[in-house]
Amino acid sequence: MSFAWAFAVPLLFVPLALLGVYLWTLRRRRKQAVTYSSVALLRSVIPSRSRWRRHLPVGLLVVGLAVLAIASARPQVTSTVAIGRTSIVMALDVSRSMCATDVDPNRLTVEQKAAREFVDNQPSGTRMGLIIFSGTAQLAVAPTRDRGPLREAIDNLTTGNGTAIGAAMLKSLDALSTVNADVKPVGDVPTPSIGSGNDFLNPFGGDSSPDTTPTTAPPPPGQHGFVPDIVVLLTDGANNRGIAPLDAVPYAVERRVRVYTIGFGTTQIAPLECTSAQLGGDEGAFGGRFATGGGNVGGGFTFNGRSPLRADLPTLKDVADRTGAKAYSAEDAGQLQKVFAGLPKDVTVQKKKHEVTASFAVVGALLALAAIAASIRWSPYP
């Protein structure tokens, strides 16, 4: 136990001094006692009282005053609590390929369920933010300890054209910079627009394959280790918009931020089915090539073709390795839940002080009142 007002601790000597005076008075009375020849006569004059009843009021008063003296010093107790000191930014892919039904009922629905569980399982002290990306990346929820906005945003994800993985990485770093002064904001990074044409028939824009060559070599990991904040990026495709993922890596390495990557989906060819809500009401998406269909998602819209988009696992692994993180892959709901469950939780045990002045004050006052009541109740005089 510690005291916020340690200068008040000497007040404990007041009840101790009162106790000393009481004991000295008792002893002095014994020395001044008068000798009577008739004990029977003495008993008839002085009401009989047990020894403990005689001393109980004084004892209660002394203890009560001692407790009140402790209360005046504002006592504090120390307890250890687990505190999540990580800020986690989730970057979730919401490109049209997330409508693929190789995962039942579709990739987007499974992604939403796993992300909600991940949010709910984090320590209460962990800040969490959300970036959503398709052709562009945008901040959906700034890092916060309030889980409500995160759940609401995850429940209302809608799909769009394109996959901007590199832009999502940079936007995630900017989000972390708002809660950690050690993470500098990235700001606007001029990048060529590599996305053009049909995202499904030619997922890499005008090229036949994505450009995974970084423009600059990534710097080595920071000498002082990594910051506790991390990025968790989930995608089912390959980058076809904005900055390439490996070009975004040096920004993360410079800021000592680990980027954990998750490649989601199978290599099976499957129809694309999304509800109207998941399409954001865009029933004429892709030039009307989404046709009304029964589907596995409760009667949504079905792409009459096939999904050529698959997660670019080699690039995702390279991103994770270079930033000091780990790359994962998942092909179904169960695997995705296990991946989220295995992500790091940077939790530390911290000592916190709690003031208990009120408790001591109440106990001390009750003891003092009990002393007064006992003194009145068992007084030998009318």
Is residue 365, in this structure, part of any structural domain at all? yes
Based on the fold, state whether residues 370 and 286 are members of the same structural domain. Answer: no
Is residue 264, in this structure, part of any structural domain at all? yes
Is residue 382, in this structure, part of any structural domain at all? no
CA distances from 64 to 7, 41, 276, 363 (A): 20, 38, 70, 7
Based on the fold, state whether residues 155 and 50 are members of the same structural domain. Answer: no
Boundaries of domain holding 65:
2-79+352-377
Is residue 222, in this structure, part of any structural domain at all? yes
Q: Count the residues in the chain.
A: 382
Tens digit of pLDDT per residue, the chain (382 long)? 888 888 888 888 888 888 888 788 877 766 655 555 555 555 555 555 566 677 788 888 889 888 888 988 888 888 765 555 689 999 999 999 999 999 999 999 999 999 999 999 998 889 999 999 999 999 999 999 999 999 999 999 999 999 999 999 999 999 999 999 999 999 877 665 454 444 444 443 333 334 444 444 444 444 457 998 999 999 999 999 999 999 999 999 999 999 999 999 998 888 889 988 999 866 555 443 443 333 444 444 444 343 446 899 999 999 999 999 999 999 999 999 999 999 877 655 556 677 889 998 999 899 888 888 887 776 655 5
Number of independent structural domains in the chain:
2
Cβ atoms of residues 159 and 274 within 8 Å: yes
Is residue 166, in this structure, part of any structural domain at all? yes
Q: Categorise residue 263: left if φ over 0, alpha if ψ from -120 to 50, beta otherwise.
A: beta
Based on the fold, state whether residues 261 and 207 are members of the same structural domain. Answer: yes
Question: If you count DSSP H runs as helices and E runs as strands, how many of each does the chain have, helices first?
Answer: 11, 12
Based on the fold, state whether residues 53 and 190 are members of the same structural domain. Answer: no
- Number of neighbouring beta carbons within 10 Å of residue 326: 17
Based on the fold, state whether residues 337 and 360 are members of the same structural domain. Answer: no
Based on the fold, state whether residues 163 and 226 are members of the same structural domain. Answer: yes
Based on the fold, state whether residues 115 and 256 are members of the same structural domain. Answer: yes
CATH number for the domain spanning 197: value is: 3.40.50.410
Is residue 268, in this structure, part of any structural domain at all? yes
Based on the fold, state whether residues 172 and 61 are members of the same structural domain. Answer: no
Based on the fold, state whether residues 56 and 110 are members of the same structural domain. Answer: no
Q: What's the number of CA atoms in the CB half-sphere (13 Å) around residue 21?
A: 8
Based on the fold, state whether residues 232 and 131 are members of the same structural domain. Answer: yes
Based on the fold, state whether residues 278 and 363 are members of the same structural domain. Answer: no
